[in-house]
A and B are shown apart, each in its own frame.
Chain A
Amino acid sequence: MATEPGINMEAKIDARENPFEPYLDALKKVLEDQDPIFMIGIVVSLAVVVITVVFLKYLLSRKTVQSAVLLVGLCDSGKTLLFSRLLSGKFKKTQTSITDSSAPYKAKNERGSSWILIDLPGHDSLRPQYVEKFKSAARAMVFVVDSAIFQKEVRDVAEFLYFLLTDSVVSRNVPSLIVACNKQDITMAKSAKLIRQQLEKEMNTLRVTRSAALSAQDGSAGASVHLGKKGKDFEFSQLPMKVEFLECSARGSKGEDGEADIASLEKSLALL
């Protein structure tokens, strides 16, 4: 009696292994039948494929890192004209950009390094998508500000700057930031120092309001990066990246045919 369950068990175990056994056996036979060299060949080729895939992935991911300088800013701040002046020195009439433009730029330094200059559209509905697309490739950002109407736009400018600085990718890559106060040819233009102070004050307030903003409907919270030092007023020097404020004028003081006043900008770009 006792053996019966044992036999049953064995039979059961056998039955369980049996479906696999014929296959395993067949496989073993096939493998043994093959030439060992053939087997080694297959293994080697598989290994090569795997290594190539890994290598390619590494290579491709390296390429997208940090080879571009982005021209960002609000709508009508002069990004496209600045783009044209930097690349060709010519004055071109511009309209509101709908897509990005990119071109290789040769920096004016001894090394003659060249990287890609990308001009992103500044319109509110397009801004987030394009920043999303290009932020990982940025090694520096030129934030163009319209100095003439800065007082009216200070909250919008600060909000965009805040959005850029608290982005997770940006705070990880830490690209250097150049704030170009454009349109200095207009008499009412504010100076770079004043713009810097106003922006610092505004960002201070924004830190509070943005962190209190509502979370999105699917539960994802806003940016959790805190700018600057807690407890102290915000200053641009507290940021982990290099920040520089400079003045420039893409139109130039002599009108359309004259030279643009972008010497300081070109110098900063050369230092990148």
Chain B
Amino acid sequence: MLDFFTIFSKGGIVLWCFQGTGVTESFTGPVNALIRSVILQERSGNNSYSHDALSLKYKLDNEFELVFVVGFQKILTLTYVDKFIDDVQLHFRDRYKNELEQKGALALLNSHFAFEDDFKMLLREAEESSKARGPTSMRSFNASLKSQKTVKSMIETKGGDKGKEQGGKKNKNAKKEGKEKAAEGRTAHNNLLKWSDWNGIRHIEITYLMYLILFPSTPAAEPVKGEKAKAPTSAQKTEENGNQGLTQEEIIQKKREEFIRKRMGAPVEKPSKSPKPVKEKPKGKEKRVWTLGGSSTKELDYSQSNGNGAHAAGDQGLDAQADPGDLLAVDYDVLFKMFLSPKKGAFGGMFGMLKGLVGSKSLSQEDMEPVLDKMRDHLIAKNVAAEIASQLCDSVAKKLEGKVMGTFTTVASTVKGALQDSLVQILQPKRRVDILRDVLEARSQRRPFVITFCGVNGVGKSTNLAKISFWLIENGFTVLIAACDTFRAGAVEQLRTHQRRLNSLHPPQDHGGRPIVQLYEKGYGKDAAGIAMEAIAYARNQAFDVVLVDTAGRMQDNTPLMTALAKLIAVNMPDLVLFVGEALVGNEAVDQLVKFNQALADHSMSDKPRLIDGIVLTKFDTIDDKVGAAISMTYITGQPIVFVGTGQTYNDLRSLNARAVVGALMKA
């Protein structure tokens, strides 16, 4: 059933692998994809991942730096996989403890892990246990709780004839099933699989509901209703569960009533035959039975004995103590509790603190919980989106679980270190980011390099476009600005002003008589995608190096505008799609990026849609050290931050320094 199972070290060496029968393709590809998209992008909180037709589940062993990955077909739903991985992990660790404990990779390289037989045995056990667990046998009626209740307790007391009627119906059921006494009238549940009884019970359920709506319910009705709702579901295993039955009851009720009316003729005399349940007053609320309580008040009378009574009552939980004197019993109790639960006792607390400082202690979830909560709050205070912060903390917890800490390192320092590493890892670009090199490449291929700017309203697209064009012309490239913002008033004029200023800074005389920046515009109200296409064609004819396409700002949930943007990008296929986001944004960043990516993916015709390739983080000078927006944006898209805007003049354009941002983020 499993396609493959691998055990490999975090350093990359595969220690043992298993390939299922009939599986020919290698698993290296899917496992690499799992590593790159989940583990390295800090999404380890959720431990399953799907790649093509395969579903992969994995488990990290942080003490010995191993990764366990199992793969199976996505269409199969195997219930035993999670427990199976845990079992395999424990088994493997125990068996190869010696080799794994040695530092250095030589032990891993030289030893041969013959795990086949153990694995097959574990797999067999897991499969059998899942099969055995499949059809759960129903409890016999006598074993269920329902048999403990009397019929009287289930009968409604308010409204005499209603009660009689219900009692009658219950009796009808009882007589139908068995010849037992009234107390066993609950054997209605014995033959739940019979459609007629199911029918009858459901009718009772419906009538109960009606009754409850009309009259305030008694406590006895609630559990009964719940029980009845549960019993049919477990019995029937059809799509009609209790909820559905309740909602469709109006529709079915008429049919049911007809059917019942047919059967009503027979059991009408029944009430006379077994009057006991009807005549007896319903018990109402049953007395609660306390397990240690005893049944009579005589036991509570300690006036006679010298403490023997106290012993009898108090020492029920403890086996040992037989000495008289209740003072000793109390002391023993306290000490006993302290030894049993050292964490809560005074001694345990002291030892725990010392143990935490010295010696090797492996991290568990409870140890990390308070520290992670604090870190999560700290991240949220630094403007990281809330769900990103919690996902990050979960991922760090997964990475550190079971790890053995060195001496004199506290839990807090380990967690902080791991979190810092994860943050730096997220901010590092996953591909090469060198715009100038790519522009040179495009120039050698005699085509312009097209950059498109998109984003919501007011984030600084036009300003940063001007800054980027300044940087490009400083490095000797010719730039064409395409004014595809045909909506906002003054957008074209703004770009024209920038063009004039840039040209005055770098006069055409220096560049062979040709203006280094030109503006391609067609006024207002025209189709943006068409203008972009014409601009790119013009740039190709005139041998411009770079085309910067400015688009109108749009809200992410404005569907027609998102469609228009997606069309612009799909039709023109720019080399770089930059999302411009401001650093002040908080949780909104997640929503913006997700919806922009979604729109771009949905409206593109090809099967490899152009998504957001990079992020421009603007207004960075307005935030002091609340730099969390950088983390949110890179985490959501996985794309690097290409530019950082730090002001409103042409020189205020920077690149991102991951270490500095993470330092500012982790600062207290």
Contacts and interface: CB of A to CB of B under 8 A. Distances in A.
B206 interface: no
Contacts of B661: 217
B17 to A, nearest CB: 7
Contacts of B660: 216-218, 220
B632 interface: no
Interface in A66-109: 80, 83-84, 87-88, 90, 92-104
Interface string B657-668: 110110000000
Contact of B65 (A99, A212, A213): A99
Interface string A223-254: 00000000000000000000000000000000
A128 B654 CA distance: 20
Contact of A125 (B14, B428, B440): B428
A101 B106 CA distance: 9
Interface in B385-426: 421, 424-426
B309 interface: no
Contacts of A84: 13, 109
Given A128-B428, A214-B655, A103 B434 contact: no
Interface stretch (A116-124, A137-145, A170-178): A116-124
B358 interface: no
A101 B654 contact: no
B14 A93 contact: yes
B430 interface: yes
A206 B437 CA distance: 7
Contacts of B440: 205, 209
B416 to A, nearest CB: 16
B272 interface: no
B429 interface: yes
B654 A214 contact: yes
Contact of A214 (B65, B104, B471): B471
A129 interface: yes
B35 A95 contact: yes
A159 interface: yes
Contacts of A119: 11-12, 105
Contacts of A80: 11-13
A164 B515 CA distance: 39
Given A95-B14, A209-B440, A220-B657, A125 B31 contact: no
Contacts of A156: 431-432
B655 A215 contact: yes
B40 interface: yes
B11 A215 contact: no
| Interface size, A (range) | 35 or more
A153 B654 CA distance: 27
B36 interface: yes
B141 interface: no
Contacts, number: 143
Contacts of A99: 10-11, 65
A48 to B, nearest CB: 25
A142 to B, nearest CB: 16
A112 B661 CA distance: 46
A11 interface: no
B8 A95 contact: yes
A263 interface: no
Contact of A129 (B8, B35, B65, B425): B425
A206 B432 CA distance: 12
A217 B657 contact: yes
B436 interface: yes
A196 interface: no
A98 B11 CA distance: 6
A155 B654 contact: no
Given A155-B432, A209-B440, A129 B12 contact: no
Contact of B431 (A93, A95, A124): A124
A209 B424 CA distance: 25
Contacts of A212: 436, 474-475
A125 B426 contact: yes
Contacts of B40: 98, 123, 125-126
B657 A218 contact: yes
A90 B660 CA distance: 43
B654 A217 contact: yes
A90 B109 contact: yes
Contacts of A87: 105-106, 109
Nearest to A215: B654
Given A101-B11, A119-B11, A95 B655 contact: no
A44 B351 CA distance: 39
A88 B432 contact: no
Given A93-B17, A119-B11, A217 B646 contact: yes
Interface in B260-306: none
A96 B429 CA distance: 17
Interface string B422-457: 001110111110101100110000000000000000
Contacts of B36: 96, 123
Given A80-B11, A98-B35, A217-B620, A124 B643 contact: no
State the 5 A-B residue pairs at the shortest beta-carbon distance, nearest first.
A101-B11, A97-B12, A216-B657, A93-B14, A209-B436
12 contacts: A90-B109, A92-B13, A98-B67, A101-B9, A124-B428, A125-B428, A126-B40, A129-B424, A205-B440, A212-B475, A214-B654, A216-B656
Interface of B: 6, 8-14, 17, 28, 31-32, 35-36, 39-40, 65, 67, 104-106, 109-110, 421, 424-426, 428-432, 434, 436-437, 440-441, 471, 474-475, 620, 643-644, 646, 653-658, 660-661
Given A93-B17, A159-B434, 7 more contacts: A87-B109, A94-B12, A95-B14, A95-B31, A119-B105, A208-B436, A217-B661
